[in-house]
Amino acid sequence: MSYPIKVSPSILSADYGNIGAEARKAAEAGGSHLHVDIMDGHYCHNFAFGIHAVTALKQYVDIPIVSHLEIDNPDVFVEDFARAGSDMIVVQEDTCPHLPHTIETIKRLGVEAGIGINPDRGWERLEVNLDILKEIDLLIVLSVFPGFGGQPFSPNTIPRIQQAAALREHAGARFDIGVDGSVNIMTIPQIVRAGGNYLIAGSSVFSGDIAENVKTLKKLGEDTLSKTTV
């Protein structure tokens, strides 16, 4: 089973005075999903976007919108984010006391579901919930701690992508393996060789020529994948 390369522009790094136009550029250049980080100033030390931002951004792009809930108590808000127009909702596994319930709720709302896992977290909670891995569409291996764009790439990310791929195999699941944080021309070859196919990119898309950046990152991912023997 091969998983096509997807580049998901993370709007956190866009020019907020021009955010709709920048989202549109990234989408039209081949972005697969618009990635919208939601931060509550509590789970991570920053604030970003919210329910109405999702609805507003949706008017600018034809690609699916992913709400990445980097917030505490996401269970309280998943319905609001679904109603706002999210096509996928990603929760951080360490914020959900009952992860299967959260994933089932998201799916019941008619949107895709994803799980994010921080660099310092073990896999135990996923290993004991193999059934939910069959329900999710995306597993995001965070290579930074949530909060800011432009942070350095955590070196343990590469083995963690391999562990995520092994877990997917073990579960008989079919989700995309995403990497979020410091995805750029330096890190993409190692990410793709390790088994990551869903590339969430903030600074490397929104600094400079947005359309050109999306195309370059996607081509690099695809070229690497075509030379990778699995």
Q: Which secondary structure element, helix H or strand E, spans residue 201, and what is its range?
A: strand 198-201
Least Å from the CB of residue 138 to Zn ion: 11
Residues binding ligand DX5: what is the number (CB under 6 A)?
22
Beta carbon nearer to ligand DX5, 65 or 171? 65
**Catalytic residue status for 120:** no
* DSSP structure string for 128-183: TTHHHHTT-SEEEEESS-TT-SSPPPPTTHHHHHHHHHHHHHHHT---EEEEESS-
- Cα 136 to Cα 52: distance, rounded to the nearest angstrom: 25
Which pairing describes strands 34-40 and 47-48: parallel, antiparallel, or unpaired? antiparallel
Least Å from the CB of residue 143 to ligand DX5: 8
Beta carbon nearer to ligand DX5, 22 or 180? 180
**Catalytic residue status for 15:** no
217 is a site residue for ligand DX5 (CB under 6 A)? no
Contact status, residue 6 vs residue 18, Cβ threshold 8 Å? no
Catalytic residue, chosen from 40, 87, 137, 180, is: 180
Window 112-151: contact mask with ligand DX5 (x via CB under 6 A): --------------------------------x-xx-xxx
